[in-house]
Amino acid sequence: MVEVDPSGLLGLSALQIAKLIRDGKLKSVDAVEVFIKQIESVNPVLNAMVATRFEEARKEAQQADRLMQTTPIEGLILHINSIG
Any idea where the domains of the chain sit in the sequence?
6-70
Nearest to 35 by CA among 19, 58, 16, 51: 58
Helix (H) or strand (E) holding 30: helix 28-46
Angle between helices 54-70 and 28-46 (to 10 degrees): 160
Asked if residue 4 has pLDDT above 80, the reply is no
pLDDT of 7-32, one tens digit each?
789 999 988 998 898 888 899 999 99
pLDDT of 43-77, one tens digit each?
999 988 889 999 999 999 999 998 888 776 555 55
Can you give the pLDDT at residue 81? Answer: 61
Can you give the pLDDT at residue 31? Answer: 93
Burial of 46 (0-12, 13-18, 19+ CB in 10 A): exposed
Asked if residue 36 has pLDDT above 60, the reply is yes
